[in-house]
Structure 1
Amino acid sequence: MYEMKNKKILQLVVAGVLCAVGLVIPMFMPKIVLGPMSFTLASHVAIFLAMFISPAVAVAVCIGTTLGFFLTTPLIIALRAASHIVFAIIGALLIKKIPSIIEKPASSMVFNGGLALVHAACEVAVVSPFFMAGYMFKPEQLETGYLMSVLVLVGGGTLLHSLIDYTIAAVLWKPLRVAMPDVAQLRE
């Protein structure tokens, strides 16, 4: 009983720290702005690290960071953040079921690609109604059309951004799990 209570407390603390990291990174990391999209380097790293730990931590970090975005950013950005729960849950459950999926380079690359596709599809699904309604898009962005503004910039940009952030998280995860074995064991 005592061990389970400690595990829950550790999950809560780790989720809180990763939420803080997920909210602080966009404040300090470089941004690339292309039309209707902005990409902040490493902005998904906290979510990927949470996903590597456990489904519960992944969900908590997605909810925590989304709440932060709802308080500090335009609606479309906050909703894009909310969509992260989809790829985070899928990824965390797959890792729980097949832990080796992130251990071997080939399977990790395929896993990363699949998650990036889900991530991009979710963000396109969030942004599409805003585009169709002409809401929160500048006239010149609407003129470039759905293909360029939403599918290429949002979908393709998110795909690339997700691939990069996952890779950063995977590189960080290796030394973190050695330095903090209790956190790495939360997955079990």
Structure 2
Amino acid sequence: MNKKANTYKVTIAALLIAIGILIPMISPLKIILEPASFTLASHVATMIAMFLSPAIAAAVAIGTAFGFLLGGFPIVIALRAASHVIFAFVGAKILSRRPNILQNQKSFWMFNLSLGILHALCEVIVVSLFYFSGNLSSDYYNQGMLMSVMLLVGVGTVVHSMVDFWLAKIVWKTVGKQSRVKSTSYIK
């Protein structure tokens, strides 16, 4: 990789981390039903990073987890954000090997759903550790494993993830068209 391309990627990664830190801190659209939280577009920076490379996606995911800590979210929510490293890295790896996956609607939505399921699985594991530890700080845990973990976190995360990935694709496609920023070949 040449120096100019490397500088470009580092700069984009730094901007995405900054955005990922700011979104949970300042977003007026956040719903916290611990152990779940839904902050509109909170995954978009990490998902845009997936279009660049697996390493950048992982770095942005780690950076955005700090945004949840700095935003005063409960530790379970910050740890859920830290688990994004897994889906971001895996998703970026798939995109790097199969860049055409986003070119048609069917493969885009199948990839998006698969990514959402992996994302939810990682978050359900994190929340389950808190659920089974008995270290419960929220009344939502009292609704039981099915309601508080599987439905609220699991299904909620799949839907939230799919919306945010769709938004990430739109943002990245728009930025690539509206500026001199070179878009990756994943999205045309």
For normalisation by structure 2, the TM-score amounts to 0.89
Say if 2:149 is the partner of 1:166: no
Would you say 1:5 and 2:12 are equivalent positions? no
State the AA in 1 paired with 2:129: P
The alignment partner of 2:38 has SS state of strand
Where does residue 74 of structure 1 map in the other structure? 74
Tell me which amino acid in the other structure corresponds to 1:37: A
* Pairwise CA distance, 1:52: 1.4
Contact 1:10 1:183 (8 Å CA) reproduced: no
Give the alignment's Cα RMSD to 1 decimal.
2.0
**Quick one: which of 12, 15, 29 aligns to 2:13?**
15
- Contact kept in structure 2, 1:36 and 1:149, CA below 8 Å: yes
Contact 2:49 2:56 in 1 (8 A): yes
Q: CA deviation at 1:169?
A: 0.9
Q: Relative to 1, partners in 2 of residues 1:185 and 1:159: Cα closer, same or farther, differing over 3 Å? A: closer
Q: Give 3-state SS (helix, strand or coil) of 1:62's partner.
A: helix
Q: Structure 2: which 5+ runs fail to align? A: none
The share of aligned pairs that are identical, in percent, is 43
Letter in 2 for 1:100: N
Q: Contact (CA 8 Å) 1:53, 1:186: kept in 2 or not?
A: no
1:83 aligns with 2:64: no
Q: Could you list the per-position Cα deviations for residues 86-124 of structure 1 after superposition, in whole angstroms to 9, with x for gaps in the alignment?
A: 111111011111111112111110000000000000000
Is the 8 Å Cα contact of residues 33 and 140 (structure 2) preserved in structure 1?
A: no
| Structure 1: gaps spanning 5 or more residues | none
| 8 Å contact kept, 2:34–2:77 | no
> Greater RCO between the two (CA within 8 Å, min separation 6)?
1
Q: Which residue of 1 aligns with 2:122?
A: 122
Shifted more, 20-29 versus 7-16: the winner is 20-29
Distance 1:47 1:92 in 2: 10
For residue 181 of structure 1, report the CA deviation from its aligned partner. Answer: 5.5
Q: Which runs of 4+ in 1 moved over 6 A?
A: none
d(CA) in 1 for partners of 2:32, 2:65: 21
> Deviation digits for residues 72-95 of structure 1, max 9, x if unmatched?
433212211110011111110111
The answer to whether the 8 Å contact 1:50/1:61 transfers is yes
Per residue, is there more helix in 1 or in 2? 1
Compared CA separation, residues 181 and 91, structure 1 to 2 (3 A): farther
